[in-house]
Amino acid sequence: MKQQCAKVSNWCVVSMASIPLVMTLGNSMLIPVLPVFEKKVGISSFQTSMIITSYSIASIFLIPVAGYLSDRFGRKIIILPSLLIALLGGVVSGFASWKMDDPFTWIIIGRVLQGIGAAGAAPIILPLVGDLYKDDDEKTSSCLGLIETSNTFGKVLSPILGALFAAYLWYLPFFSISVFSFVSILLVLFFVKVPKKKEEPVALSEFIQKTKKIFKQEGKWIFTVFLVGIYIMLVLFGVLFFLSDSLEKVHDLYGVKKGFVLAIPLLALCIASFISGRKIKGDLKVMKRIMTVSLILMSSSVACIGWVDQRLVLLLVVSSVLGLSIGALLPAMDALITENIEKEERGTISSFYSSSRFIGVAAGPPLMAVVMKSLLNASFIGAGLLGIIMFLLVLFFIKPDKSTAKEGKA
């Protein structure tokens, strides 16, 4: 086992980490410049939110397909074409914004293509890490922490890069996504060495039966993780959409200055994600403890955001606490899914988990666009109450003292 782990080079880890980084930039980088798109394209706030949502909706439906295909045909052979599709999507959205008088429809088409690419790239990384490190849970947890840190670091860079690019050309963020995708393609092509399959792939009918069996036996904790994943992304992207709007309309912050301020809570998220990934070390009791404490903090902080909107310092403090709690949660849930599902079903189960997260990403911005005008405080308080429900689900249905899908693991 140690010999297998030694073959995972630092460049391999960097290459894998580049994928969630690129996919995060592909979505989050546009959030701080959505008000700019609204003015330049001449669209409503709700239409602007669809630039984020269209990307996520495409991912929701295709991620499980990509997970199954990666289990059957291999991780790398799915990742590379997916990154190429994401590259093409950036070109379509960018070119339409550059050359067309009414580019909104083609921007959405390009974003759907990017979502298709994201579906076949980022979610496959979780089972790939499990494949590379096999049964070394400590190394798996540590690597997953780095992968999730890369994801969250992308969120930190996103508002700054998005504002910088848009300050030069308002449609440049679309083209930049294609450039980042190309770099990731080269890294994966040359540095990611996937273990050779020794067994023949499982037949589809047998695969479906095994997957049903997993959900039947372990459905309570698996669906709990899925629901928490939806909740986290719903709150995160809803709050980011709100902050992007509030920093301009309430606090008169624009462009790069706004990008740096928006990056503050995301930096807290990134730091917490890195620390959480290092602390887990394959210990399910630690994972559950991190999840319960983080959900309490998350519920408390999100409920307060509407009340501190007018005071910038307090707003940043509360949103940073929210970022810390989300950052701690993500690696714990990644490890819980990846380390407790057998390799043959790992890609599919983790892809359902990734798909559930994209449901939250898709729903957050349009919901916030609707409630910001009249139901702002009520919506944030409701999000806090929903977090308490998530806390109770984790408390009752994730049992570190009982076996999960991977026998003896828990």
Residue partners of 200: CB distance under 8 A and separation at least 6 = none
* Number of domains forming the structure of the chain: 1
Q: What's the pLDDT band for 404 if we cut at 50, 70, 90?
A: very low
Q: What's the CATH code of the domain at 138? A: 1.20.1250.20
Q: Is residue 195, in this structure, part of any structural domain at all?
A: no
pLDDT of 322 strictly over 90:
yes
Q: Is residue 49, in this structure, part of any structural domain at all?
A: yes
Tell me how crowded residue 326 is: count the other CB atoms within 10 A of its CB.
28
Q: Is residue 18, in this structure, part of any structural domain at all?
A: yes
Q: How far apart are the first and last CA of the chain?
A: 20
| % the chain with pLDDT above 90 | 26
Q: What is the mean pLDDT of residues 188-200?
A: 73
Q: Is residue 90, in this structure, part of any structural domain at all?
A: yes
Between CA 305 and CA 250 the distance in angstroms is 14
Q: Is residue 373, in this structure, part of any structural domain at all?
A: yes
Give the chain's mean pLDDT: 83
Tell me how crowded residue 188 is: count the other CB atoms within 10 A of its CB.
23
Provide the whole-model pTM: 0.76
Per-residue pLDDT tens over the stretch 342-391: 666 666 677 788 788 888 888 888 888 787 777 778 889 999 999 999 99
Q: Is residue 343, in this structure, part of any structural domain at all?
A: yes
Q: What would you report as the CA-atom Rg of the chain, rounded to the nearest whole angstrom?
A: 20
The residue range of the domain holding 142 is 11-189+200-397
Q: Is residue 408, in this structure, part of any structural domain at all?
A: no
Lowest mean pLDDT among 192-201, 307-316, 318-327: 192-201
